[in-house]
Amino acid sequence: MSFIPDFSVILAFAAAAFILAITPGPDMALQMSRAINHGYWHGIAVGLGAMTAILVHTTLVAVGISVLIIAAPAAFLALKIAGAVYLLWLAYQAIVHGGGLRLAAAGQSRPTIWQSYLTGVGINLLNPKVVLFFVTFLPQFVDAHDPAASGKLFFLGAEFIVISIPLMVLTVYFAQLIADAFRRTKWVERLLNWGFAAVFTTFAVVIITAQARH
């Protein structure tokens, strides 16, 4: 079928996708925090939200819209600022209000599964690391003059999701084990609270100071 890349391309992209998927980032941190605080399915919901955002990235690349981010530095800067502000907001929620980033006490209000899903969508869409991967790297695996290029881009985007889902499930499962083992330990709650805040703040600083790669 014309939309399926060569097997060598599938393997090469799988290796690149695996490296990106296991690289710690705000998506992974949020999946772990929601699983620790609100349960396994909240972590999964965040992960599924991120996978949905991957479909958006793939679609934008396939139809050629994402090139505007590269062509217009101001647009990329706006994306970086929005992503950094969002991460700082999550860090603030972790320290001041909990925001789903600390071990939840019994009876404590919690987000709905839908809210966790939407948060996963938002944090992935505003993650320049993922945007740059799809805008600058994904197109390298297809020939611009190939009439089936768009179909192959969608295939590779789907491949990225297939590779990422098992890793996401393992991440959430591991986080749930941590929560079950240490939920009653107060110092662990404080450590997780400030730890997740530090993670989100660090990524915000990295995003805002990163230079767009052309």
Domain assignment present for residue 188? The answer is yes
Question: What pLDDT, on the 0 to 100 scale, is given for residue 73?
Answer: 66
Domains of the chain: total: 1
**Residue 114: per-residue pLDDT:** 95
Query: To 10 degrees, what angle do helices 73-92 and 113-125 make?
Result: 140
| pLDDT at residue number 190 | 66
Nearest-angstrom CA–CA distance, 210 and 60:
22
| Phi, psi dihedral angles at 107 (to 5 degrees) | 85, -5
Residue 79 in domain: yes
Which three-class secondary structure state does DSSP give residue 1?
Answer: coil
The answer as to whether 194 is a domain residue is yes
In a domain, 214, yes or no: no
pLDDT of 67: 64
Provide the pLDDT for residue 46.
94
Please give the residue range of the domain that contains residue 204.
7-209
Residue 2 lies inside a defined structural domain of this protein:
no
- 51 vs 17: CA distance, rounded Å: 13
pLDDT tens, residue order, the chain (214 aa): 577 888 888 998 888 888 778 767 778 888 888 888 788 899 999 999 999 999 998 888 877 755 665 666 676 567 667 767 766 776 776 666 544 444 444 445 678 999 999 999 998 888 777 777 777 677 777 776 778 878 888 898 899 999 999 999 998 998 877 766 665 566 666 666 677 677 767 767 766 665 444 4
Q: Quick one: pLDDT at residue 148?
A: 81
Q: What is d(CA 157, CA 7) in angstroms, rounded to the nearest whole number? A: 15
Residue 134 domain flag:
yes
Provide the pLDDT for residue 16. Answer: 80
* Helix and strand counts by DSSP (H, E) for the chain: 9, 0
Residue 147 and residue 33: Cα distance in Å, rounded?
43
Question: What are 26-66's pLDDT values in tens digits?
Answer: 788 888 888 887 888 999 999 999 999 999 988 888 777 55
**CA 117 from chain center: how many Å?**
12
pTM above 0.75, yes or no: no
Contacts of 102 by beta carbon, 8 Å cutoff, 6+ apart: 37, 94, 189, 192, 193, 196
Domain for residue 19, yes or no? Answer: yes
